[in-house]
Structure 1
Amino acid sequence: MFHSCSERKIRILSLYLILSLSSSILVLASRVRHLCRPDQKDALWEFKREFYVHSNGIAADKKTEMWKNKTDCCSWDGVSCNPKTGQVVELLLRDSSLNGPLRSNSSLFRLQHLRSLDLSANNISGILPDSIGNLKYLRVLSLGDCNFFGNITSSLGNLSYLTNLDLSTNGFTGELPDSMGNLNQLSELHLKSNKLSGNFPSMLLNLSELTLIDFGFNQFEGMLPSNMSRFSNLVSFLMVGNSFSGSIPSSLFMLPSLGVLTLGRNEFSGPLDFGNITTQSSLGILSLLENNFNGPIPRSISKLVGLFYLDLSLWNTGRGVVDFSIFLHLKSLYFLDLSYLNTRSMVDISIFSPLMSLGYLDLSGINLKISSTLHFPPPLEILVLSSCNIAEFPKFLRKKAILYYLDISANQIKGQVPEWLWRLPELQYVNISQNSFHGFEGSVDVIQRSGKLILLDISSNNFQDPFPLLPNSTKFFLGSDNRYSGEIPRTICKLVSLDTLVLSNNNFNGSIPRCFENLNTTLSVLHLRDNSLSGTFPKESISDNLRSLDVGGNWLSGKLPESLINCTRLEFLNVEDNRINGTFPLWLRLLPNLQILVLRSNEFHGPIFSPTESLNFPKLRIFDISENRFTGVLPIDYFTGWSAMSSFVDVVEHIPDRYAGRDSGNYHNSVTMTAKGLKMELVGSGYTIYKTIDVSGNRFEGEIPESIALLKELIVLNMSNNVFKGRIPSSLSNLTNLQSLDLSRNRLSGEIPSELGKLTFLAWMNFSYNKLEGPIPQGTQFQSQDTSSFAENPGLCGVPLQETCGGKEEATNQEEDEDEEKEDKDQVFSWIAAVIGYVPGLVCGFTIAHILTSYKRDWFLKLFRSFC
């Protein structure tokens, strides 16, 4: 009995040990199986070494820098493996600061079992290689927000398992490859913000699994297919910002699964047909803004009862009457934008009272009736009533406790801003510009007590002293075009978060406050133009964060503060119409983002170049140094580094969207320029169009530099009122975009180059008061000019002047001159090559000269002939 009991215990203990050992072995084996295979590890490690990691000082998750060669690669950041095979199946390196091209022989393509690949938000440039199609098991491919360009490779059609493809925010061009019609598992297609073109890709109609298509902000055109019903599972269709035209197929609105439809900023036209919409429609977001629709808004829109976002802004009703009651059936509406419908209707805003979910309402451009006793229950958060012919401040706002954005600009409201406005607990953004307000109710600190205010735009009113005290939360203050006087209040310097300060066109005097140095890390926009400010520009007041500085039209003196050299973000610099003196600030070339430079009408003097330093302005688009006392000869290569004027550069100015005041403030840069003999003001987006050089009204001498012919994007060129001499370079004919040319009041001689007659955009020109001679070039652009454009050139002849050109002898002379001009032109086009070969050519030149003047001259000539 004892033995049997002991044996039983021993057997149980043995079984326990066996099970424990087996479990340990299984655990160890499992761990071994989880280890990444050596070939996969090698491929990952080589892939890491193909890129360099750099984040430009921006915080980023540098995953590959955490990889260690002696550790299990399946545990590396961004890497996941198949636990059974050890093969890498996921590589997720979004925003990992990878820099460099994705090569066609990249080790990445040895990871043959990848199912998810995310390299988005990295600086991976170049063409997407065909090798991407070798990753045949991919389900998810995310390459958005990189720097790929060129055509999308057709090899993507090999990825038959792909369900999600994201190539958005790149530089892809051309049409989509037909092979993408093979991706019959594809569910989401993200292609927004590229430069893709062509008609809507019809092969996509075969992809019945698609739930999302995003082609926003591309260059697609033509009509949408009529049989959109084939997208039976489509939930989101995003086509904003293209050039699609024609009518919108009604089959699109009848897709029962469709929830999001954005077709804004296209060229769709005609009346809109919603088709036979059923109450089962899932459409929640509909955006049709800025198209070419005309006629009445279809009443059938009232059947889209699930809508909570509706944007029909800029619909052209042809000054017809709009029945706004059709929107009252949309009980779920939160966002409603009906701005600028081009209607003659007078609308009582109370008609929208039944929309109890309405939080965003924009009725700008519509004549509104607002009763002083109006009860408006919708819980408004954003209200935009710009240009609505409102004559009184809307009193119903008094009870809007959650209102945080109010725009009642460009109306006819007079008197004082009510004190109760600043008691609204959530109010952060207020735009009351372009009215006739003259003050604020309550004490001077009434606004300061509002607490949460971020933006206040009171520009273009009749406000006058006292200047309001602003809360410390203020980031954007725009108070231009009012009647404020005295010194700029030093209390502004206490706004430690201030980003934008615009006080132009007032009556401020005194000096620029030195206390602006308190805003050194925040202030990015400082506009003080057209006041009566005097004294020097204190270097302490320059914020290193400045992006736009305008102090034109004051009485400032002294030198331009060299502390601007620290403003590496500076794009716009305008100091025109002051008394600033000193030599040309050559250090401006160190500002990498400078686009607009206006030094006009000051007391600058001396040369504008240094013999030891090149003057490269790679992003400069407007260069106006007119009406100063600059002197000297401009070097032949002066304009060689001005890239933005030499070729098309897509430059974006920081101009806010209609409602982007929450992010950047509602300011617009403006500058006055002389074009076609007239002064004109450029505001906002005008800067993306004009490329201008104006050096008029100085004392420059010598010949016009040949390198100006490199500036092929130049639109306005004004070199008048100087002492330029010599011939007009025939190479100016390279400036094919030139619209305005002024070379008047110089000492130019010879003939006007006939090649300039080829400049088809040249609408205005002035060659008067020179020493030019010979026939005026033929061509419509020249013949259509007024005679004053050629006045005081005694030797000029031909239309439009009354002086006729001579006969045969003059024709012969003209031919000889043309031959000379041709020879000069050849020399012009060779100057760049001459510069490139300057150093070796100089050595060779001296060597040849020495030989030719030495006793070995005959020997050298024989040697030269033998080579010829």
Structure 2
Amino acid sequence: MGFSPLSLSQSLSFIMFLFHFHSTISSSHFCAPDQSLSLLQFKESFSINSSASGRCHHPKTESWKEGTGCCLWDGVSCDMKTGHVTALDLSCSMLYGTLHSNSTLFSLHHLQKLDLSDNDFNNSHISPRFGQFSNLTLLNLNSSVFAGQVPSEISHLSKLVSLDLSGNYDPSLEPISFAKLVRNLTELRELDLSRVNMSLVAPNSLTNLSSSLSSLSLWGCGLQGKFPGNIFLLPKLESLDMSYNNRLTGSFPSSNLSNVLSSLDLSNTRISVYLENDLISNLKSLEYMYLRNSNIIRSDLAPLGNLTQLILLDFSSNNFIGEIPSSLGNLVQLRYLKLDSNKFMGQIPDSLGSLLNLRTLSLYGNLFNGTIPSFLFALPSLQYLDLHNNNLIGNISELQHDSLVYLDLSNNHLHGPIPSSIFKQENLEVLILASNSKLTGEISSSICKLRFLRLLDLSNNSLSGSTPLCLGNFSNMLSVLHLGMNNLQGTIPSIFSKNNSLEYLNLNGNELEGKIPPSIISCTLLEVLDLGNNKIEDTFPYFLETLPKLQILVLKSNKLQGFVKGPTTYNSFSKLQIFDISDNNFSESLPTGYFNSLEAMMTWIKK
């Protein structure tokens, strides 16, 4: 089938299409020369420092090269027609240095979005010139080490939809500046002033914020006085965080609440909260509820069973007394349940077995008794389980899933062997079963298959058998290994791998024999080494002198023998603060040369 030739009009249309297409592609490379120069000068005023960003590391300005279109640079967005820079995202860019008021940043007058979060601007004051960005809809200076007063010129940014000045180095906001901000920023939907000192701002002035506001975060702002209950009259308020304002008083209203409220955090305040049925009926949309260390008046949690949309519930560090109500089993969407540090008693209710989406369960520091219900170990999504410091008894059930990342059952009255299924938790990072006294049996060598384990504490139990020899060599992630106060026999693991992460090693109070393995010098991060109260037969381990971070060394009550000479290396035991080699069979007392060289110990004693 042949193709007919294009008509003149069709040809012209096709040419115009190609021209438009080429112009569009080219414009993406186009960058106004003054914009490019301003950005390059801004870049040169800072250094790149990996410690300047904490959450993430992405040195975006390294892609900024002279001679290339700035609109293609990392973190830069432009207007396709004019080449003006309209958005600058330099979050996590590892920028270090002072942001001066004469910075060329402030010549980018067409900016609509500016994100400088997670850098280190070295206690720079927030410049009044930020107020010149009249088109700005987003300003994020979170966690970038700004200090001083928040300038009133910020209130000139009347188009702002999102403002985040949180997490900086004690900046302050005066009442007059806040009043201007409230009056002029009528488009605000998100406002985060957490850790901005607002101690002189009257809490009631918060009720004058924009009716468009959906998210308000003011944690740790030093607010004091009466909680403004009518803040919930803001019709679109979905998230409110006023935690860690421990001078904030008053009471939480039971009516006139925003029916779209999904997240509420009043932790560590003195706001009185009455858990009445009518309050709960006004919070049907609530998904996240944080009332840690709060002034909760009614201790009956039963009404909470009506909040069926809850994903997170944190009522820890309060003064609840009695049993957990079975109605919490209605919260089938719940992923995080934290009721620790209260006075809950009785058995852990079976109704919690219906929380199949639960990922975190924290019930430590209560008065629970009875056995650990087996349904807890059958929850398919559970990753974090903390039941330490209760009165739980009985055996530990076998785990039916391998989802656990954190398990702490310490300081209870559990007995019997450690179930083998614990050693099959492939993602386990923390395992603490200490101080149950009646946990028996041997430590399976299968424990060395837990390649992500960072902390292992099985101390103060009745475990027997030999110490698995693989413990010194099985995981480069392990930083804490505590097997003290058991009945372990045999020898200390002979091989400690290079580049290991061990910081704390405690085998005190066992029946270990043999020698102290020289390979411990591979533990270059080791701060605590406690091998006391064993049956170790050896001479003084001079090789430990070279451990650069060792602060505590306990070798007491063993069968160490021979002479103890003075330091054998330069800077011997440079960080040592506690040194106990008492009750051994050494031939002479410790030479004064050691005492003269232990500078860190002398400094610690003077303190």
CA RMSD of aligned residues (A): 4.3
Q: Is the 8 A contact 1:208 1:230 kept in 2?
A: no
Task: Tell me the number of residue pairs that the alignment of Structure 1 and Structure 2 aligns.
Answer: 571
Question: Which whole-Å CA distance do the structure 1 matches of 2:316 and 2:411 have between them?
Answer: 22
Deviating more after overlay: 624-633 vs 158-167? 624-633
1:372-521 equivalence runs, <5 A? 387-390=343-346, 392-410=347-365, 417=372, 419=374, 421-433=376-388, 434-440=390-396, 446-447=398-399, 449-469=400-420, 470=422, 471-473=424-426, 474-482=428-436, 483-485=438-440, 487-508=442-463, 512-517=467-472, 519-521=474-476
In structure 2, relative to structure 1, the CA distance for the partners of 1:145 and 1:553 (3 Å cut) is farther
Q: Is the 8 A contact 1:286 1:310 kept in 2?
A: yes
| 1:538 has 2:493 as partner | yes
Question: Which whole-Å CA distance do the structure 2 matches of 1:269 and 1:19 have between them?
Answer: 69
Question: Which whole-Å CA distance do the structure 2 matches of 1:281 and 1:399 have between them?
Answer: 27
Question: Which whole-Å CA distance do the structure 1 matches of 2:409 and 2:416 have between them?
Answer: 13
TM-score of the aligned structures, taking structure 2 as reference length: 0.78
| 1:125 has 2:90 as partner | no
Question: Which whole-Å CA distance do the structure 2 matches of 1:631 and 1:297 have between them?
Answer: 67
Which one of 489, 494, 506 corresponds to residue 550 of structure 1?
506
Question: Which whole-Å CA distance do the structure 2 matches of 1:476 and 1:201 have between them?
Answer: 47
2:97 is paired with a residue whose SS is strand
Bigger CA radius of gyration: 1
Q: Is the 8 A contact 1:136 1:158 kept in 2?
A: yes
Question: Which whole-Å CA distance do the structure 2 matches of 1:279 and 1:220 have between them?
Answer: 25
Letter in 1 for 2:204: S
Which one of 202, 209, 216 corresponds to residue 187 of structure 2?
209
Question: Which whole-Å CA distance do the structure 1 matches of 2:217 and 2:568 have between them?
Answer: 51
2:95 is paired with a residue whose SS is strand
Name the residue aligned to 1:101: none
Q: Is the 8 A contact 2:431 2:456 kept in 1?
A: yes
Offset at 1:27?
A: 5.7
In structure 2, relative to structure 1, the CA distance for the partners of 1:343 and 1:424 (3 Å cut) is closer
Letter in 1 for 2:186: S
In structure 2, relative to structure 1, the CA distance for the partners of 1:43 and 1:223 (3 Å cut) is closer
Question: Which whole-Å CA distance do the structure 1 matches of 2:303 and 2:149 have between them?
Answer: 40
Name the residue aligned to 2:156: 182
1:189 is paired with a residue whose SS is strand
| 1:142 has 2:115 as partner | yes
Q: Is the 8 A contact 1:188 1:213 kept in 2?
A: yes
Q: Is the 8 A contact 2:345 2:369 kept in 1?
A: no
Question: Which whole-Å CA distance do the structure 2 matches of 1:268 and 1:297 have between them?
Answer: 21
In structure 2, relative to structure 1, the CA distance for the partners of 1:555 and 1:200 (3 Å cut) is farther
In structure 2, relative to structure 1, the CA distance for the partners of 1:582 and 1:86 (3 Å cut) is same
| 1:225 has 2:222 as partner | no
1:148 is paired with a residue whose SS is coil
| 1:527 has 2:461 as partner | no
Letter in 2 for 1:338: F
In structure 2, relative to structure 1, the CA distance for the partners of 1:200 and 1:547 (3 Å cut) is farther
Residues 361-401 of structure 1, C-alpha deviations (whole Å, 9 max, x = no match) = 444466xxxxxxxxxxxxxxxxxxxx4111x4533345554
2:170 is paired with a residue whose SS is strand
Name the residue aligned to 2:605: 717
Unmatched segments (≥5 aa) in structure 2: 583-588
Name the residue aligned to 1:247: 226
Higher relative contact order (CA 8 A, sep 6+): 2
Residues 811-865 of structure 1, C-alpha deviations (whole Å, 9 max, x = no match) = xxxxxxxxxxxxxxxxxxxxxxxxxxxxxxxxxxxxxxxxxxxxxxxxxxxxxxx
- The percentage of aligned residue pairs carrying the same residue is 28
Offset at 1:272?
A: 0.9
Question: Which whole-Å CA distance do the structure 1 matches of 2:150 and 2:239 have between them?
Answer: 23
Question: Which whole-Å CA distance do the structure 2 matches of 1:428 and 1:20 have between them?
Answer: 60
1:292 is paired with a residue whose SS is coil
Residues 632-663 of structure 1, C-alpha deviations (whole Å, 9 max, x = no match) = 45899975xxxxxxxxxxxxxxxxxxxxxxxx
Which one of 582, 586, 589 corresponds to residue 541 of structure 2?
582
In structure 2, relative to structure 1, the CA distance for the partners of 1:296 and 1:220 (3 Å cut) is same
Residues 143-193 of structure 1, C-alpha deviations (whole Å, 9 max, x = no match) = 111122323233323333322211112332333223323333222221222
Offset at 1:554?
A: 4.5
In structure 2, relative to structure 1, the CA distance for the partners of 1:225 and 1:121 (3 Å cut) is same
| 1:313 has 2:313 as partner | no
| 1:260 has 2:260 as partner | no
Letter in 2 for 1:85: T
Which one of 122, 141, 144 corresponds to residue 167 of structure 1?
141
Q: Is the 8 A contact 1:274 1:298 kept in 2?
A: no
| 1:349 has 2:325 as partner | yes
Offset at 1:454?
A: 3.3
Offset at 1:351?
A: 4.9
Q: Is the 8 A contact 1:215 1:239 kept in 2?
A: yes
1:526 is paired with a residue whose SS is strand
Question: Which whole-Å CA distance do the structure 2 matches of 1:458 and 1:393 have between them?
Answer: 14
Q: Is the 8 A contact 1:195 1:219 kept in 2?
A: no
2:143 is paired with a residue whose SS is coil
Question: Which whole-Å CA distance do the structure 2 matches of 1:555 and 1:607 have between them?
Answer: 29
Residues 563-602 of structure 1, C-alpha deviations (whole Å, 9 max, x = no match) = 454555x56555566668323734332x5xx7x5444747
Question: Which whole-Å CA distance do the structure 1 matches of 2:553 and 2:232 have between them?
Answer: 52
Name the residue aligned to 2:313: 336
Question: Which whole-Å CA distance do the structure 2 matches of 1:29 and 1:403 have between them?
Answer: 54
Name the residue aligned to 1:631: 591
1:610-649 equivalence runs, <5 A? 610-611=569-570, 613=571, 623-626=577-580, 630-633=590-593
Q: Is the 8 A contact 2:76 2:87 kept in 1?
A: no
Unmatched segments (≥5 aa) in structure 1: 1-8, 90-114, 367-386, 640-692, 696-707, 709-715, 719-737, 739-868
In structure 2, relative to structure 1, the CA distance for the partners of 1:234 and 1:298 (3 Å cut) is farther
| 1:85 has 2:82 as partner | yes
Name the residue aligned to 2:585: none
Residues 676-713 of structure 1, C-alpha deviations (whole Å, 9 max, x = no match) = xxxxxxxxxxxxxxxxx656xxxxxxxxxxxx5xxxxx
Letter in 1 for 2:579: I
In structure 2, relative to structure 1, the CA distance for the partners of 1:172 and 1:453 (3 Å cut) is same
In structure 2, relative to structure 1, the CA distance for the partners of 1:419 and 1:252 (3 Å cut) is closer
2:446 is paired with a residue whose SS is helix
Letter in 1 for 2:391: N
Offset at 1:231?
A: 0.5
Offset at 1:260?
A: 1.0
| 1:284 has 2:262 as partner | yes
Question: Which whole-Å CA distance do the structure 2 matches of 1:552 and 1:411 have between them?
Answer: 29
1:106-117 equivalence runs, <5 A? 115-117=86-88
Offset at 1:356?
A: 6.7
Name the residue aligned to 2:586: none
In structure 2, relative to structure 1, the CA distance for the partners of 1:304 and 1:142 (3 Å cut) is same
Q: Is the 8 A contact 2:545 2:573 kept in 1?
A: yes
Offset at 1:330?
A: 4.8
Offset at 1:530?
A: 2.6
